[in-house]
Structure 1
Amino acid sequence: MIRENKTFDELKPGDSAELKRTCTTDDLIVFANVSGNHNPMHLPHHDIDGDGKEDEVVAPSMWIGSLISAVLGNILPGPGTLYRRQELRFKDRARAGDDLIARVTVLSKNDDGSVRLGTEVRRAADNVLVLEGEAEVLAPRAKFQFEEQDLPGLVVQRHRHFDKLLETAEKLPPISVAVVSPEEANSLGGALLGTKARLITPILVGHKDKILAAAKELGESLDGIEIIDAPNDTAAANAAVDLVADGRAHALMKGHLHTDVLLKAALRKERGLRIGRRFTHIFVMDVPGVAHPLLVTDAAVNIAPDLPTKVDIVQNAIDLAHSLGMDNPKVGVLSAVETVNPAIPSSVDAALLSKMNERGQIQGGIVDGPLAMDNAINITAARIKGIVSPVAGQAEVLVVPDLDAGNMLAKQLTFISGAEAAGIVMGAKVPIILTSRADSDKSRLASCAVALVHQARVSGKI
């Protein structure tokens, strides 16, 4: 947008200008970081008055005052304006979600080049005066036009999708989880974290002495937690699957053992966890700046999936997306290109999966591909390339060509984009929680929450 200032000579009493701005929680988090004012009254997820409810986030008064500066610097008088003084009187409060209108009006001009302006901010919804005052500025003498600067974007590293997921999960009764070989501090700590959050009720299956030693290292007590002694990882994995078969556990959690040992036990023919689909891994990712959770699959189990395996990968992801509240999830099947190229097998598989979805062989979501990464998640990229699709630019599930691509994508989102990732295996009778030693506490809790919410939806509890 091209903006042009009003010089001192052009200004006259009664001239007025305004800007409308929606107050968001992200604005207030940025303001807290820049100003150093971390008053919980101005930040989300705090109960200030002790009534047991998180109060609405109140906008800091000086953030509201800064809206006046935006009008003065951008519009009236505009570029070249310098403050001399600002008087502010706060009449009411604004909160996150409010639309605010900041307005300035020229009151008088002085011979020294200064201008006096009335200033106010009102809530748009009810026209209530939030702030009033008076500013004195030095107005520009020279005419100036400028194109409004495209400032570097800011992404608030906040994981609102996992916050919402945990809020949902915490209202449900804990799920009984067989934790396999939690024989070192990291893996045991993840299980205890979910226990303290009342997301899981663990049954610890593994070498008892090693489990107790890990608890001692953590400084944690295992009083009241059942421990089933098993001499090695294979025995522990089989004992944990037995707990599911007996109805005592409704999910598995990987501890300090190789994933293939755990999955081999789950895939056994007698009293195993098969349901007729391939086991597939799904990362549920909370990526800052993305308006919805992002599911990435398969990044941990199937190394080079063929077409039948990809059908199960897609269907498992759709089923989990339903549990997470996505009624008709948009599934983008990724390739290096967005057109079918017989020389690129992933593009052919993507087209076939899309057609299978159209014919009802994959149900419950909208599947489209091939899509390149840019036009799967960015609507502008999709439009530039002329892709007309209900999925392009809006994908909620990303199906990768192979494990290499999935693992790289998930780790790039985590370590470059600041995402948190919950890991879960689907396609079995119960969800299998896979955590990594590098996972944050938030990721570990989210993995437990995903398993809990999914089982609750499957059993009709929510």
Structure 2
Amino acid sequence: MATNKTFDQIVVGDCAEITRVCSTNDLLIFAHASGNRNPLNLPDTDWTGDGVVDTPLAPSMWVGALISAVLGNILPGPGTVYRTQTLTFHRRVAVGDSLTVRVKVTAKKPNEMLDLETTVSTEAGDLVASGMAEVVAPKQQIEFDASELPALLIERHRHFNRLITLAKTLPALPTAVVAPDDASSLEGAILAAREGLIEPILIGARDRIEAAAKDIGEDLSPFSLIDIEDESEAAAKAVAMVHEGKVKAVMKGHLHTDDLLRHIVKRDGGLRTKRRISHVFVMDIPGRATPVVISDAAINIAPDLNTKVDITQNAIDAALSLGLPLPKVGILSAIETVNPAIPSSLDAAILSKMAERNQIRGGIVDGPLAMDNAIDVQAARTKGITSLVAGRAEVLIVPNLESGNMLAKELTFIAHAEAAGLVIGAKVPIMLTSRADDSRARLASCALALLFNHWKATGNPVETLEPIEG
């Protein structure tokens, strides 16, 4: 609750200040609000043109706007009307700088006018900006609750940017791309090759692949192409090339998932291991501190308990490969208590206990948890749940394919998340993207495959993930 000081209550010499740390989101919000899209002030840009992303600097008027926060919120506070402001800027501000913004009343004048000295300085005391403000102070006491101010969602997908950057540090992954005979799947494979993530071997109908290449204006001459008309035969060829050691990953193109998986899961000549294969969606959700892994939303329709053990272990392995050091795994159900009438709550409790006994390794597993108290700390506190996972889950294990598919699609189309998909549990990682996925999703899926392949070979991620707040 903000409370003002009226003109009569204010005396010369009164002071007020706030401290503010400049964040990346501040720069993005200011760019949208002001319309100033100067690349000097935006993150993830190479404004010098040297091929390296440059450190953004805060717009000077963003610094100046902080003064209005003190005047409008504290001194004089709600009801203040700005009249004039002079500003001299002494140095630039970078993301992470802590600023102290201070105002001091220097004169009271007729008609409720005030003069105030205004300064902005760094934590070390270096002056960033200075000037004088003239305002009309309020005549009456005002209290204002700003808690109902609408929140803002910043649609940034920093986690995928990071994962793709990390994957580029690894050798490209020889990959069989099955039936890339439409614009989206072919473009995704070529983009991943251009970014150094995969060495694609295109397997499918030559005439259709060449037609797709013509549609997107791409030259296929740098890539190997195996001409196989039938999509099922193309999938079988990809699996055979894994056994021959010619490829270390498989990427789904423009064919039905069943047509590809049929050859992967077959007992003779397939890519089975001792563990059940499962699919993970890795979601880059704006505002989340880490990526969120969801499983299984694409392969196992109604998994029993034994299958859920493998699904959970596969998802933990995926999270470890992304650099999450001890993934927090929430086993989802409709409720957060064990109820024999809800089978998923029983499975969740058993999986949690199995993790305690090291039958599931590498993560902290808890359940049953409902979706709200799995991902929201306040929801978990409200329901009195004490857990290392509740409110902080980084991996979500869903009861069945339907619920997982709906969750992933809701996050994509309502929460504006980006999604990438990978099949784990086979001899090699399989990039199982939707035929409707764009090239960005396919690029991110290639990055996941490369990072997972590295983790599987070495036992270590390329880099341990530091959570990103905001």
TM-score (norm 1): 0.97
2-side partners of 1:381 and 1:424: how far apart?
A: 30
Q: Among the aligned pairs, what percent are the same residue? A: 57
Matches within 5 A, 1:360-371: 360-371=358-369
Matches within 5 A, 1:74-223: 74-124=73-123, 126-223=124-221
1:387 is displaced (CA, Å) by 0.5
Which SS does the other structure have where 1:459 is aligned?
helix
Q: Give 1:123's aligned amino acid.
A: T
After TM superposition, the structure 1 stretch with the greater mean CA deviation from structure 2, 451-460 or 315-324, is: 451-460
Which residue of structure 2 lines up, in the alignment, with residue 394 of structure 1?
Answer: 392
Which residue of structure 2 lines up, in the alignment, with residue 335 of structure 1?
Answer: 333
Which residue of structure 2 lines up, in the alignment, with residue 311 of structure 1?
Answer: 309
The answer to whether residue 320 in structure 2 is matched with residue 322 in structure 1 is yes
Could you give the per-residue CA deviations for residues 16-40 of structure 1, whole angstroms, max 9, x where no partner exists?
0001111110111011011111111
Matches within 5 A, 1:406-425: 406-425=404-423
2-side partners of 1:304 and 1:408: how far apart?
A: 14
Which SS does the other structure have where 1:242 is aligned?
helix
Which residue of structure 2 lines up, in the alignment, with residue 405 of structure 1?
Answer: 403
1-side partners of 2:403 and 2:14: how far apart?
A: 59
Could you give the per-residue CA deviations for residues 378-411 of structure 1, whole angstroms, max 9, x where no partner exists?
0000011010110000000000000000000000
Which residue of structure 2 lines up, in the alignment, with residue 30 of structure 1?
Answer: 29
1-side partners of 2:118 and 2:437: how far apart?
A: 49
Matches within 5 A, 1:268-279: 268-279=266-277
1:147 is displaced (CA, Å) by 2.6
Q: Give 2:90's aligned amino acid.
A: K
Please tell me whether the aligned partners of residues 187 and 439 of structure 2 are also in contact (alpha carbons under 8 angstroms). Answer: no
Could you give the per-residue CA deviations for residues 204-240 of structure 1, whole angstroms, max 9, x where no partner exists?
0111121111111222110120011113011101100
Return 5+ residue gaps in structure 1 as ranges: none
TM-score (norm 2): 0.96
2-side partners of 1:440 and 1:262: how far apart?
A: 19
The answer to whether residue 5 in structure 2 is matched with residue 6 in structure 1 is yes
1:52 is displaced (CA, Å) by 4.0
2-side partners of 1:340 and 1:269: how far apart?
A: 37
Which residue of structure 2 lines up, in the alignment, with residue 281 of structure 1?
Answer: 279
1-side partners of 2:213 and 2:26: how far apart?
A: 42
1-side partners of 2:178 and 2:20: how far apart?
A: 52
1:11 is displaced (CA, Å) by 1.3
2:439 to 438, 441, 446: 441
1-side partners of 2:206 and 2:228: how far apart?
A: 7
Q: Give 2:33's aligned amino acid.
A: V
Q: Give 1:349's aligned amino acid.
A: D
1-side partners of 2:398 and 2:218: how far apart?
A: 40
2-side partners of 1:454 and 1:134: how far apart?
A: 57
1:137 is displaced (CA, Å) by 0.4
Cα gap change, 1:52 to 1:191, in 2 (>3 Å): closer
2-side partners of 1:302 and 1:249: how far apart?
A: 26
Q: Give 1:406's aligned amino acid.
A: G
Which residue of structure 1 lines up, in the alignment, with residue 465 of structure 2?
Answer: none
Q: Give 1:456's aligned amino acid.
A: H
Cα gap change, 1:148 to 1:53, in 2 (>3 Å): same
2-side partners of 1:187 and 1:161: how far apart?
A: 22
Please tell me whether the aligned partners of residues 185 and 442 of structure 2 are also in contact (alpha carbons under 8 angstroms). Answer: no
How many residues align? The count is 460
Which SS does the other structure have where 2:95 is aligned?
coil
Q: Give 1:288's aligned amino acid.
A: P
Could you give the per-residue CA deviations for residues 152-210 of structure 1, whole angstroms, max 9, x where no partner exists?
11110000111111110112221111001112222212211211222111000111121
The CA RMSD over aligned residues, in Å, is: 1.2
1:56 is displaced (CA, Å) by 1.8
Which residue of structure 2 lines up, in the alignment, with residue 252 of structure 1?
Answer: 250
1-side partners of 2:325 and 2:172: how far apart?
A: 24
Please tell me whether the aligned partners of residues 184 and 439 of structure 2 are also in contact (alpha carbons under 8 angstroms). Answer: no
Please tell me whether the aligned partners of residues 273 and 426 of structure 2 are also in contact (alpha carbons under 8 angstroms). Answer: yes
